[in-house]
Structure 1
Amino acid sequence: MVESDLVVDLASDTNADSVNLINSNGEVNALQRVQEGATQVTFQLLGEAEDGYTPGEYRVVAVAGDETIGETTISLKPELTITDVMWAQNHPDMDWDKGRSTWRQFAALTVENTGNAPTYLTALQWANSPHTKLSPSETLTHNPTTLLPPGETTIYSAAPIYQTEDPTGVHGAIDCGNLETNTLTVTGVVQAGTNPSYSQTIEYGGAKYSCELTIMDGSPTESSQTTSNESDT
């Protein structure tokens, strides 16, 4: 696997004309011609503007003419967990855009992919955050289009998630003294795999225009929605 591509190694003496990637339904998902002298073929699993593959079992079949000369089975499955959501004010040493006067109000999250295949993060949905309490919308969505290969990836929010007052004055400020505790939830929408979620309990204190936020705890939460190139369930 190289970034968003599946790379198949061939024997140096292969006489294969093509290699087929066949999904669990027996359908040819993709076909790659083998160039003369080549010992690898590459299948693009993901694209920024394309639907993702469907996670599951695949057959990789080498063909010469009408004859199958080699075959193997592979499993392609990303396993995604949002392991942490970090507030810039509490983590000032991270790579924030400190040219912004509001940088301390931004968030970052860590996504861990313990599977064996990549996927793209196409959206982040923030629900019940301090920022959304200043907005008519209950959910803030932005679209980072970030590749999530196996391993850990850190993603920075595009909006000040922990903002408690509108600097333009249009939407006013949160009256934090009346809120006590609330739970923020962030959900990642992915091209292929199960959409991961994370919930964080925030304690609100102080008063309007002088809020005091305290992060009490946070943990990954279950997500029932799975994304593939076939359907959403």
Structure 2
Amino acid sequence: MHRIRHHEHHRLDRIGWLRAAVLGANDGILSTASLLVGVASAATGGNQVLLAGVAGLVAGAMSMAAGEYVSVRSQADSEHAERQLESIELAEDPVGEHRELTEIYVHRGLDRKLASEVADQLMAHDALGAHLRDELGMSDATAARPLQAAAASAASFAVGAILPIVAAALVPRVAMTPAIIVVSLIALAALGAMSARLAGAGMLRGMVRIVFWGTAAMVLSSTVGRIFGVAT
């Protein structure tokens, strides 16, 4: 008889860095492209457009890193506080905590005797881990990692921002705006497909969603740039 091996490939361990990386890359492409399109539409020179793009890259990458770190650091602090509180409750009232864990398993479908036995064994093995996981929904796979999120966000922003800047640098001034838009939309579509693939979601939906909002942002930036360009 052939032994059937059951393989599962979950993606929960990617949640922290994937969210930050996708957000950073998306913002890098979109904000930089919109900035370049807006400046280029204002009839400024090519050097000014590129300077604005590089400044946007540096400022944006640092802003994304700081924002991600502060946000995820707050989450990590909350998780630490919950862990400390649960440790105190386990030390002060182990019977009550056992009862609480038993009720959780009963609610999930186990009969009370089996639920109590499961709670006994899990608390004997790792009481804190059992309560964090089953009572609070906390696990190592989904734990907040501020430095990882900040690094992923800043790096992906910079990579995303480089694409429209390179497009602007490689074409004549007269073709700069359409080149930025085309390259940026292609990059956004690829990012949407890749992020959907990594997350196990539908690729087409991810592509359409990100391209739609990217187009809207660049059209609005171009309109504003033209208005101010004519006004000056």
Give the TM interval when normalised to the shorter protein: under 0.3
Larger RCO, structures 1/2 (Cα 8 Å, 6+ apart): 2
Higher strand proportion (structure 1 or 2)? 1
More helix by share: 2
For the pair shown, the structure with the greater C-alpha radius of gyration is 2
Provide the TM-score with structure 2 as the length reference: 0.22
* TM-score normalised by length of structure 1: 0.22
